[in-house]
């Protein structure tokens, strides 16, 4: 039993890895922490095997959609050289397969373990942000004074929003979880994390409706108009930001229509300015906002479409639909954090936030593992130990190689700064 708590706790420890060095170290350190945590989880699975676990695994349509997405990514990955960024998706695909293999036979027990761990994780993040507000901890960001271990309040807010449904999934520790949830909502308001607030509200409403605590008739009669008023208030809060997101989505959609086969990995940053300049040249948008350089479509669906094309977007959407149907039919409580994850995906980039991507992948794999929908094949796990060893080897190598290349980047930047400083001193 304790081994399971250690096993699932490791993937949440990734969010507490921090760094303050050059080249966005706080983001990359979480990526390397994910590789280390993944390796440790595999070791735990090898040392403390679940004797009661089934020795076979059902291959579902969800798994087939993931394999299709992997195939498309392999096509675009061919010939690239950006090791730290482009090797991470392979670790994510392996992590999905690993959780599928390790998913227990008792979904209720898994949810119970996760809810206990997550409530403590949320409290620690809230305390971390509160300490930054009072100057007791460093900010881990050059611009934001309180963004938690992520440095960015929107990233911290997105992570907490996806975890928030675990506070009401079951009745254990009810008072403690309610306090944690309330503190989280207050924190999101202070950080002005609007997307996170919407995600918390949508997931909570879905829970009330599907659990029968709120009827559809009551919702449409008494709750719909207040909900629309809250959304309008959030838009009015920062109208320029909302207009900017809509503009970015429109330009990204034009990019997808222009090349439905996909622009390639990290090509959005290269080609977006061209489409933006072309649109701005023919339209006066200065009354709404001033366009700026962006690094993401701020929409995970458009990001997949622009990067991998329709060939990557279709299996991605199919997988999401499959997960939602499976969670709904099995009445899985994991449906609610997945709903929050999808809300975040509509106006942010969760797969660029490694700890959030880890949670999203793990929840999806657990839902698919307990799914009775669509079972094309059954595969035996007679040689499970060897299969886990086959997973740990590439994960450890990819993580180490990415870390090695990233350190070379940092050393190159440091060396260049040193040389520029020496030239400046010589000129003086």
Residue 358's nearest CA partner among 96, 44, 32, 120 is 96
pLDDT single digits (tens) 86-113: 899 999 999 999 998 887 667 888 889 9
pLDDT at 289: 66
Mean pLDDT for 331-355 is 93
Helix and strand numbers (H, E) in the chain are 17, 2
Q: What is the CA radius of gyration of the chain?
A: 22
If DSSP states are collapsed to H, E and C, what string results for 276-307? HHHHHHHCCCCCCCCCCCCCCCCCHHHHHHHH
Mean pLDDT for 299-315 is 95
Q: How many angstroms separate the CA atoms of 337 and 316, rounded?
A: 18
Judged by average pLDDT, the poorest of 15-29, 42-56, 306-320, 350-364 is 42-56
Whose structure tokens read 């190689």? 401
Mean pLDDT for 171-181 is 90
Which phi-psi region, left, alpha or beta, contains residue 23 (left: φ > 0; alpha: ψ -120 to 50)?
left
Confidence of residue 170 (pLDDT cuts 50, 70, 90): confident
Confidence of residue 351 (pLDDT cuts 50, 70, 90): very high
Judged by average pLDDT, the poorest of 109-118, 162-171, 212-221 is 212-221
Mean pLDDT for 421-426 is 76
pLDDT single digits (tens) 237-283: 767 677 788 889 999 999 999 999 999 998 888 889 889 888 888 77
Residue 353's nearest CA partner among 41, 7, 76, 26 is 26
Q: Average pLDDT of the chain?
A: 87
The beta strands (E) that lie in 249-328 are given as: none
Judged by average pLDDT, the poorest of 10-24, 108-122, 135-149, 398-412 is 135-149
Between 90 and 211, the higher pLDDT residue: 90
pTM: 0.91
Residue 32 · residue 166 · CB < 8 Å: no
pLDDT at 207: 92
Q: How many angstroms separate the CA atoms of 339 and 324, rounded?
A: 8
Q: How many CA atoms lie within 13 A of 72 on its CB side?
A: 23
* CA distances (Å), origin 102, targets 106, 262, 388: 12, 34, 10
């Amino acid at each position: 039993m304790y081994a399971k708590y250690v096993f699932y706790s490791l993937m949440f420890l990734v969010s507490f890895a921090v760094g303050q060095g050059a080249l966005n170290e706080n983001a990359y350190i979480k990526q390397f922490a994910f590789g280390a945590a993944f390796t440790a989880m595999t070791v735990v699975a090898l040392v403390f095997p679940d004797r009661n676990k089934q020795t076979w695994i059902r291959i579902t349509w969800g798994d087939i959609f993931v394999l299709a997405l992997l195939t498309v990514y392999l096509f675009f990955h061919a010939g690239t050289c950006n090791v730290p960024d482009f090797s991470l998706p392979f670790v994510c695909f392996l992590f999905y397969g690993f959780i599928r293999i390790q998913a227990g036979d008792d979904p209720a027990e898994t949810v119970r373990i996760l809810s206990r761990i997550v409530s403590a994780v949320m409290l620690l993040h809230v305390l971390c942000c509160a300490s930054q507000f009072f100057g007791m901890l460093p900010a881990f960001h050059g611009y934001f004074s309180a963004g938690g271990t992520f440095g960015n309040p929107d990233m911290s807010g997105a992570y907490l929003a996806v975890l928030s449904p675990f506070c009401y999934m079951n009745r254990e520790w009810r008072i403690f979880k309610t306090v944690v949830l309330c503190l989280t909502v207050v924190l999101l308001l202070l950080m002005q994390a609007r997307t996170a607030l919407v995600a918390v509200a949508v997931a909570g409403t879905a829970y009330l409706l599907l659990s029968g605590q709120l009827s559809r008739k009551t919702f449409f009669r008494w709750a719909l108009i207040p909900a629309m008023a809250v959304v309008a208030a959030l838009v009015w809060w920062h109208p320029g930001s909302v207009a900017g997101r809509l503009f970015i989505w429109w330009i990204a959609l034009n990019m997808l229509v222009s090349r439905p086969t996909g622009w390639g990995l990290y090509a959005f940053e290269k080609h977006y300015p061209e489409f933006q300049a072309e649109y701005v040249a023919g339209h006066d948008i200065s009354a709404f906002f001033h366009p700026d350089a962006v690094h993401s479509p701020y929409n995970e669906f458009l990001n997949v479409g622009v990067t991998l094309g329709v060939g990557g977007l279709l299996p991605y959407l199919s997988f999401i639909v499959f997960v939602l149907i499976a969670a709904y039919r099995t009445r899985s409580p994991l449906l609610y954090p997945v709903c929050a994850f999808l809300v975040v995906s509509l106006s942010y980039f969760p797969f660029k936030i490694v700890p959030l991507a880890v949670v999203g992948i793990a929840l999806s794999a657990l839902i698919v593992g307990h799914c009775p929908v669509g079972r094309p094949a059954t595969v035996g796990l007679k040689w499970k130990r060897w299969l886990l060893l086959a997973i740990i080897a590439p994960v450890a190598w990819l993580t180490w190689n990415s870390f090695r290349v990233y350190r070379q980047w940092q050393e190159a930047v440091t060396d260049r700064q040193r040389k520029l400083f020496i030239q400046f001193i010589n000129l003086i």
